[in-house]
Amino acid sequence: MKISFKFFFLILILLQVTISPFAHAEEEKKEEKTKGLFKYKYAEGLYIAPKFIYAHSDTTGWIDLDPTLKPFFHDDTFGNAIALGRIYKLPIPMELRFEIEYATTTPLEDTSIVRISAPPSSTGTTTTDLLVDFSTQSQTVFINLFIDYANSSNFTPYLGAGVGMVFNTTQLDVGVQGVNAVNLSFDKEYSQTFAASGHAGLVIDLTNFMALDLGYRFTMFHPVETRLALSSTDEVVFKTSEIFSHQAVIALRFTF
């Protein structure tokens, strides 16, 4: 009986010695694999993110001589951006991201037809269609703040908000439809305005250092204006309401 117990304990010791290194190695491999998969998600550090932007924007304008005339403009534009940011770990399963972003887009260009009525005369009331060509190109600098909802998968949803400045170049031309000789070109106006944005999206981890960011953001730009000098003292001012932009954003984030 004593011999059998000794033999039993000897077998246990041999199994422990034999299996333990393999089990430990497998555990380390699994841990390393997990670190590789989620290194981006739980890592603090800097990142750089080139972005591609598709936007649908719209606004309403009016001329101060007759504020009841409100041409509506909308257009689909494309843009590029570059962002530099930093990720901060939180004691809860969330991460805080802070970034500075510079973006430029193709011009928002549209033509709106505005029908005006001349005062009644002996021949009755006549109407004239004005062609209003509006163009504004924007460059933006934003400070964005995001909250990433970390989880055990490679997919991380997030919410965010941003504030910034917009540098606009605005041009307006007004003509009478069918009469090429009548055309008024407003001065090209350069302005700086305030902007704000809201963000939502999903981050997909691709490698240890690279992630794909698929996002939507709603951006509101402060009104822009341009003017036409009639004389040294008189001028006509064209203003817009806020410019609203719905944007789809695709970005690649590289952490380092």
Per-residue pLDDT tens for 62-107? 776 666 777 788 899 999 999 999 998 888 888 999 999 999 988 8
Q: How far is it, in rounded angstroms, from Cα 10 to Cα 6?
A: 6
Note whether 251 and 51 are within 8 A (CB). yes
> What residues pair up with 40 in beta bridges, in sequence order?
none
Note whether 168 and 136 are within 8 A (CB). yes
> Within 10 Å of residue 113's Cβ, how many Cβ atoms?
10
- What pLDDT is stored for residue 107 in this prediction? 85
Note whether 142 and 163 are within 8 A (CB). yes
In sequence order, the 6+-apart residues with CB closer than 8 A to the CB of 4 are none
- In terms of average pLDDT, the best of 12-16, 49-53, 186-190 is 49-53
Tokens, residue 8: 């039993």
Tokens, residue 12: 């246990």
Q: Confidence band (pLDDT; 50, 70, 90) for 51?
A: very high
Tell me what the pLDDT averaged over the chain comes to.
Answer: 78
Note whether 103 and 81 are within 8 A (CB). yes
What phi and psi values does residue 236 have, to the nearest 5 degrees? -105, 130
| Residue 178: DSSP 8-state | T
pTM assigned to the model: 0.73
